Chains A and B, each alone.
Chain A
Amino acid sequence: RQRWRADGRALRKLPVHVGLVVTEEEPSYADMASLVVWCMAVGISYVSVYDHNGIFKRNNSRLMDEILKQQQELIGLDCSKYTVEFANQDKTGQVLNCQSTLKVLSPEDGKADIVKAARNFCQLVAQQQRTHTDLNVNVLDDLLSSTNGFPDPDLVLKFGPVDSTLGFLPWHIRLTEIISLPSHLNISYEEFFSALHHYAACEQRWGK
């Protein structure tokens, strides 16, 4: 544990929320679990996992089992210090561990969530509880529910040969750095950490 936390602290900046986006057709639960566990070990507070077929989401519990297993292997005895809570009832599948939170996402958390928020707002308008002029960027942002409690991703690590986000949280990635890696299969900690290093070197001007 000491080693990973130190690695995290050594970086000029650490992302607060990392999106792990798999574009390969056959996702690997073990490799994704490793990535999630490394994110948490290094001190990243929010992690989301995504594939455009929704495979991880449908097989949420299998992923959680892998993560628990990897946690025990990699972090060892320290695991007993942390209470791992499963929110399996919650469809987004949140796992709380130490100071990190995980969400498992799919395309329905993207455009479909925006449409749902729009429909709900229009329902309020139909009931004359709101007028159309009430709707602005901040209001719409608040109405979105797919990433409740999560800040926007600072970084997306995109795995696989496809040069696209394939529907991953379109609204939320407006300022997200997108770093591509060839594959998540048999991914090594060094490759993962080198991507974080790359992120730390990015200059962000915020339009100014």
Chain B
Amino acid sequence: MSWIREGELTIIERFCANIIKAGPMPKHVAFIMDGNRRYAQKCHVERQEGHSQGFEKLAQTLRWCLNLGIQEVTVYAFSIENFKRSKEEVDGLMDLARQKFSRLLEEQENLKKHGVCIRVLGDLPLLPVDIQELIAQAVLATRNYNKCFLNVCFAYTSRHEISNAVREMAWGVEQGLLEPSDVSESLLDKCLYTNNSPDPDLLIRTSGEVRLSDFLLWQTSHSCLVFQSVLWPEYSFWNLCEAILRFQMNYSALQKARDSYMEERRRQQMERDQDYVTRKLQQEGSASHGDSRRRRTLLQKCTAMREERIQGFLQALEHKRADFFERLCTVSA
């Protein structure tokens, strides 16, 4: 299969994998696959060849992840900022995308066999329509597979993603589905393009750059960040193991930080809810004010109503998104 290299690990690789798997393993790894152009320069080939090699390396890395039991991978394939590159390079990358997505659609049997769910995350309307259609077909064809998940960020930046999530919540308020007070961190989480995935445990960036470049800024706030100097097309199984070892060394500190962050978040939500209930009770008059049972009942009622509103809103959002893909498919049919 073109997107996931066939093949098993070598004996030495398997030996290493077994050692690593004795420790905690990331369930979701994100990659900033940087260095294709520098690789091309180094090897004296065209940039386009560098990007092509980069794709081959992606296929190989996905195979390694599956061999290691890593079920979910997110990659930064094309940033909205990359549209600023020369027309020649952008067209070349779009052609590569056309090629690879078309190929993907020809391999439906394999996708089914491996249970690969493909998601494409980004401001898709920015892309040429024919690519949008290919993407829609790939996403709809694999949407029910659940053995492993590949998220491709295409025409993506994190700030656009976060703004989009806020815009969707505002749309929800406009539609009468949400109250402004329903807006919370956890609701924003559910409005991101990545809402069906857990946060990445590990983010790897190759080629030596030590920045996030507008990739998954919200989702990686407590992820293990590993910056490696190897150029992406030269990435090896050992580089991957090295990154996972770093993850393992950070594991308990990050768990602890994440847990205390979530605890604080829960506490603040509870405080907000209590304040709301207090105000409601004050409105009802001083008789209700000290009544703790009344307070509990009101708190439960408010929470339940909010939950209901949020479920309704998320369903509407889901429909909107599914609609977008389905409409693209009927156009191309």
A residues bordering B, Cβ < 8 Å?
23, 52-53, 107, 110-112, 114-115, 117-119, 121-123, 125-126, 130-133, 135-137, 139-141, 161-168, 170-171, 173-179, 202, 204, 206-208
Contact = CB atoms under 8 A, between A and B. Distances in A.
B224 interface: yes
23 contacts: A111-B185, A115-B183, A115-B184, A118-B166, A126-B180, A131-B174, A132-B173, A161-B253, A162-B250, A163-B225, A164-B221, A164-B250, A165-B221, A171-B162, A171-B218, A173-B212, A174-B214, A175-B213, A175-B214, A207-B85, A207-B213, A208-B81, A208-B82
B139 interface: no
A177 B221 contact: no
Contact of B222 (A117, A121, A139, A167): A167
B160 A170 contact: no
Nearest to A123: B180
Contacts of A126: 173, 179-180
A46 B217 CA distance: 22
A110 B221 contact: yes
B279 interface: no
A121 B172 CA distance: 12
B302 interface: no
Interface string B201-229: 00000000111111001101111111100
Contacts of B158: 174
A169 to B, nearest CB: 9
B130 interface: no
Given A107-B264, A167-B261, A206 B163 contact: no
A121 B210 contact: no
B169 interface: yes
Contacts of A133: 167
Interface in B150-165: 157-160, 162-163
A17 B179 CA distance: 37
Nearest to B79: A207
Contacts of B254: 162, 164
B330 interface: no
Nearest to A130: B170
B81 A206 contact: yes
Interface string B254-281: 1001001100100010000000000000
Contacts of B221: 110-111, 164-168, 170
A126 B250 CA distance: 43
Given A52-B257, A140-B162, A164-B257, A170 B79 contact: no
Given A119-B181, A161-B253, A162-B253, A140 B163 contact: yes
Contact of A136 (B163, B211, B261): B163
A18 to B, nearest CB: 14
B212 A171 contact: no
A71 to B, nearest CB: 30
A174 B217 contact: yes
B113 interface: no
Contacts of A139: 163
A54 B294 CA distance: 35
A163 B252 CA distance: 12
B212 A163 contact: no
Contacts of B84: 206-208
By secondary structure, the B interface counts as: helix
B178 interface: yes
Contact of B178 (A110, A122, A131): A122
Contact of B160 (A137, A179, A208): A137
Nearest to A120: B180
A206 B221 CA distance: 21
A202 B210 CA distance: 9
A115 B185 contact: yes
A139 to B, nearest CB: 8
A163 B173 contact: no
B170 A178 contact: no
Contacts of B225: 163-165, 178
Given A170-B217, A173-B212, A125 B170 contact: yes
Contacts of B173: 122, 125-126, 132
B217 A171 contact: yes
Given A107-B264, A132-B170, A175-B211, 4 more contacts: A126-B173, A163-B246, A163-B250, A204-B211
